[in-house]
Chain A
Amino acid sequence: MHIHKYEKLWLIFGVGSLILFLVILAIGAFYKEIHPPSHMDTIDPKNVQEHESFKEENLGLRQVGENEYIVNVLSSGFYYDLGKDENDKAVNTIRIPVGAKVLFQTTSTDVVHGFQIAGTNVNMMVEPGHISTLETVMQKPGTYTLLCNEYCGSGHHYMAATVEVFEP
């Protein structure tokens, strides 16, 4: 098929930029290993406590190294379970020092939820039967809102917690 000269130039430019975009994405994905959250482990949504990470005593923020933390969260109808404090009260704020390496791990006990720390790249889907994980370094101090960004029912817009990133 004959294609007009200008059309050819336009397509070469367009397809060229496309290839450039994809190469950049591929370098990010396969060289720097930045993939979107894609954890492959499964879990029984009716019995999440059988998994070490989601046992009651392991929920919430835990320090695991000098500047390393794990945050285990159970997501369920309108509530992020971040464990209990010393007074046996539900935790709804977690405090993380700036520059710490943090691994978020969560799963759902009921429907699909979102797990987003607004204003950051921490953003993943939480699905019953699957574990979602995301490792990040919180670079900017501030008070962030952890919120559910996938519709999960009538109280969806109340499902939130606070993440404070502080200068130690």
Chain B
Amino acid sequence: MIEKHLSISSKEARLIMAHMYVAFISLLVGGLMGLLQTFVRSGTFNLPFGIGYYQILTAHGVILALVLTTFFIIGFQFALMSKTVGISDKQRLSAWIGFWTMLIGTLLTAGTILTGKANVLYTFYAPLKAFPTFYIGLALVVVGSWIACFTNFRQLAVWKKAHKGGKSPLLAFMVVINMLLWFIATLGVAATVLIQFIPWSLGMVDSINVLVSRTLFWYFGHPLVYFWLLPAYMAWYAIIPKIIGGKIYSDALARLSFVLFLMFSIPVGFHHQLTEPGIDPLWKFIQVVLTFMVIIPSLLTAFSMFATFEMAGRSKGFTSLFGWIRALPWKDVRFFAPVVGMLAFIPAGTGGIINASHQMNQVIHNTIWVTGHFHLTVGTTVILTFFGIAYWLIPSLTGRKLTKKINTLGIIQTIVWSVGMFIMSGAMHIAGLLGAPRRSAYSTYTGAEQVDTWIGYQLAQAIGGTILFIGIVLMVYIFFYMVFGAPKGEASFPIAEVSEEAEPTPQYLENWKLWIGITIALILFAYTIPFIDIIQHSPPGSEGFENLIR
């Protein structure tokens, strides 16, 4: 009965929805942890039942930054792949195996955090030592995501075989790029977790090389943020044009920007380590230059988006210089939420350029400015786009309609989110410039006047955090309403077509060997010499410290 309303078969819908359930439950749990943190830092609230601040901080980071994002992205990408190149029974089975592996890993890690044996934050810097199941759980999440990677690769390969010489569908191409990026990046974190952390936490080896572990972590940690961003870009490039009644500006340009993201997002992690000893400043500078290269595809994306919007507006008969802005469907939440996210990316990206600027990093490194920065990028640009995706994806998977009421509620949700984030992230940016540190519980430190100037901003963070949590509750309600409550019917799965005026896509854009080859060459260039240097100039290793984290 319901089957006929679904945009893809019910078997596929079930797979994708499984990922979505984990994602939205994570949003609620992780968001609650975030709310409690802002309360604690306002200096007016103490956590009950002996719960530690750093315990909820670890939970917040792991659940939102690693679990929510990974499950949502992989689920969304399976939807795109199923829709554009299809999924076979075998591939669906392997996708399920990946899902369960990730879920078991998540539960193992979450359980360890809940018992208070892993208050090491989501970056788990050595030599703070968590209970081994924390690391084993994380390793399982990564392995599960690799199964998803190879399932996606296989899906495209099978399609290519059946369509000899044909150009792969744009969205499938984008998914494969993102999964390649993820796979190459996670090799770093897998290496440190499997070779360094797990044997060390199990007591099989006595010590750990701290700088090596940090370098491998950040080799992964920077591309990670592009793994979050690229699915948002997929929606911007290939889905939003359909929602606004337009066409994709250029298929070739979209592919080119994704290829550039693959090449330039991976070989750069040192800008997260700019203020640390043991890495030659020349190599830090080289990686800063490489970091800046990712600005180019971001600029390409900005141009494409506004070109698409303007063309769609003009095609509806609006001719004046900015008149086409009025033609856009501002009252459609599927457009409104992602566009607000896009606008947030302007200050967010600017902040990112400041962070990565070699010497300027010293001003804001590890201050709460950084927290403000990634709440704008991931917490606003990416997540609002994900919400925008949910408004059509969930109904089209559950065979229901996006009602007018939910559309309005979604617009309210977007506004609540932006207001909350403006207050919270704005306060974080300012307090950070004044010197307030990130990832710290409430403290008056030495009681100096200087510290007093931060407290007001910390109160503002709690106010912004509260508004944001209201936004989370609204969103979770909307999600469950779209799954169980909305009236049955059809919701479209909007995939845009390429504009007739766009130039044909050159063949070389699909030359995987070429792009992967250049990427590997760049990684080798950026890392080989400094890595050899780091290993040759290693100090004696560090034993673990658990006593400091309880």
Contacts and interface: CB of A to CB of B under 8 A. Distances in A.
Interface in A130-167: 130-133, 142-145, 147-158, 160-162
Chain A's interface size range is 35 or more
Given A38-B284, A45-B542, A153 B210 contact: no
Interface stretch (B179-187, B359-367, B473-481): B359-367
Interface stretch (A24-32, A62-70, A82-90, A95-103): A24-32
A1 B506 contact: yes
B54 interface: yes
Interface stretch (B74-82, B323-331, B413-421, B440-448): B440-448
B299 A10 contact: yes
B362 A40 contact: no
Interface in B273-328: 273-281, 284-285, 288-289, 292, 295-296, 299-300, 303, 307
A128 B127 contact: yes
Contacts, number: 235
Nearest to A78: B548
Nearest to B453: A119
B440 A157 contact: yes
A121 B362 contact: yes
Nearest to B256: A1
A151 to B, nearest CB: 5
A15 interface: yes
Given A14-B295, A38-B277, A129-B539, A153 B128 contact: yes
Interface in A5-49: 6-7, 10-11, 14-15, 18, 21-22, 25-26, 28-30, 34-46
A29 B288 CA distance: 12
A81 interface: no
Contacts of B279: 38
Contacts of B128: 111-112, 151-153
A124 interface: yes
Nearest to A28: B359
A110 interface: yes
Contacts of B363: 121, 123
Given A36-B361, A123-B275, A157 B442 contact: yes
Contacts of B274: 36
Contacts of B443: 157-158, 160
A18 B292 contact: yes
Contacts of A37: 275-277, 362
B540 interface: yes
Contacts of B503: 1-2
B121 A151 contact: yes
Contact of A116 (B127, B280, B435): B435
Contacts of A2: 503
B358 interface: yes
B30 to A, nearest CB: 18
B367 A129 contact: no
A136 B303 CA distance: 43
Contacts of A3: 253
B170 interface: no
A145 B443 CA distance: 12
B22 interface: no
A21 B540 contact: no
B437 A38 contact: no
A149 B366 contact: yes
A154 B281 contact: no
B303 A10 contact: yes
A87 to B, nearest CB: 20
Contacts of B285: 25-26, 29-30, 35
B412 interface: no
B537 interface: yes
A124 B276 contact: yes
Closest 5 A/B residue pairs (Cβ): A118-B435, A129-B539, A153-B548, A42-B539, A157-B443
Interface of A: 1-4, 6-7, 10-11, 14-15, 18, 21-22, 25-26, 28-30, 34-46, 77-78, 92, 110-112, 114, 116-125, 127-133, 142-145, 147-158, 160-162
8 contacts: A10-B299, A11-B303, A14-B296, A18-B292, A38-B278, A40-B278, A124-B362, A127-B214
Given A110-B545, A112-B210, 15 more contacts: A4-B250, A10-B303, A11-B300, A41-B277, A42-B537, A110-B548, A123-B363, A124-B276, A127-B210, A130-B276, A131-B277, A145-B435, A145-B448, A151-B121, A151-B128
Interface of B: 52, 54, 57, 119, 121, 125-128, 210-211, 214, 250, 252-253, 256, 273-281, 284-285, 288-289, 292, 295-296, 299-300, 303, 307, 353, 357-359, 361-363, 365-367, 434-443, 445-446, 448-451, 503, 506, 537-542, 545, 547-550
